[in-house]
Amino acid sequence: MENKIAIIGGSNLFNSELVKDMKEERIITPFGTVDVFIDEKTMFIQRHGKKNLPPHAINHKANLYAVKSRDFKKAIALNSVGSLKKDIKPSEVCLVSDFISFYNIITVEPEKRIHITPELSEGLNQKIEKCLNQKFKRVVYWQTTGPRFETPAEIKLMSQYADVVGMTMGSECTIACELGLEYASICVVDNYANGISDKNIDFDEFNKLVLKNQKIVDEILKEIVKCQF
């Protein structure tokens, strides 16, 4: 079915009402097991897994291989990000056009030469906009390794070349492209990164901001599953 879409989200994805009528399945991959909710049209993957793994420990290879193993060819990710620009405000929704990730680069073929150039799907971005009936800013995403937040000096450097910062999307996109999947990322801005605003945040405050934006994520999910991709 050409219209199948995999949705990869954060720690609260499996709490969505959308999964209640879907089949829960554990998929075995060469890279580990992945728990998913799935029907004929849609697959939901909680990227952190049921154990809520920290960003640097996420098994991106297993997650994306699970998508491919069920003959899904398109993946839309929902990513929580920090803003590197004052005009990209908390609770704003953006689409990723490109990313920077210089470190912790992963591959599904560590012993083979795979010289891919990972890319975000502009075709999927346009379909997302049509689906949600809204135009979104295109942003450049800078991936850090986590689990710590960035220093103000690091953010000052990043802000010269990127618009948002996070810990997962670059790795996810790279593996998706290696596996021949079309990939797009919807970013929801949870906070200003350290040094962009006058107030820096700690982890507890960050979690409160993520929960505050969960309603936005839930509304996006409801519309995405209705659409033709």
In a domain, 27, yes or no: yes
Closest CA to 139 of 154, 161, 124, 123: 161
CA 183 → CA 1, 98, 127, 160, 176, distances in Å?
17, 12, 12, 25, 7
Query: What is the percent of the chain with per-residue pLDDT over 70, rounded to a whole number?
Result: 94
Average pLDDT for residues 89-112, to the nearest whole number?
91
What pLDDT does 74 receive? 97
In a domain, 171, yes or no: yes
What pLDDT does 198 receive? 72
Q: Where residue 61 falls among pLDDT bands split at 50, 70, 90?
A: very high
What are the pLDDT digits (tens) for 134-145?
A: 999 999 999 998
Could you give the CA distance from residue 27 to residue 36 in angstroms, rounded to a whole number? 7
In a domain, 192, yes or no: yes
What pLDDT does 1 receive? 53
Q: Is the model's pLDDT at 131 over the cut of 80? A: yes
What are the pLDDT digits (tens) for 157-204?
A: 999 999 999 999 999 999 999 999 999 999 999 999 988 977 666 666
What pLDDT does 2 receive? 67
Q: Where residue 111 falls among pLDDT bands split at 50, 70, 90?
A: confident
Q: Where residue 127 falls among pLDDT bands split at 50, 70, 90?
A: very high
Q: Is the model's pLDDT at 18 over the cut of 70? A: yes
Q: Is the model's pLDDT at 59 over the cut of 90? A: yes
- 139 contacts 170 by C-beta, under 8 angstroms: no
Q: The domain spanning residue 100 has which CATH number?
A: 3.40.50.1580
Domain hosting residue 137, numbered range: 5-224
Average pLDDT for residues 25-51, to the nearest whole number?
95
In a domain, 229, yes or no: no
Q: Is the model's pLDDT at 219 over the cut of 70? A: yes
In a domain, 104, yes or no: yes
Average pLDDT, the chain: 92
Query: What is the percent of the chain with per-residue pLDDT over 90, rounded to a whole number?
Result: 71
In a domain, 164, yes or no: yes
What pLDDT does 211 receive? 72
Average pLDDT for residues 116-136, to the nearest whole number?
96
In a domain, 39, yes or no: yes
Average pLDDT for residues 32-39, to the nearest whole number?
96
User: Coil, strand or helix: which one is 73?
Assistant: coil
Q: How many domains does the chain have?
A: 1
Could you give the CA distance from residue 25 to residue 22 in angstroms, rounded to a whole number? 9
What pLDDT does 229 receive? 86
In a domain, 209, yes or no: yes
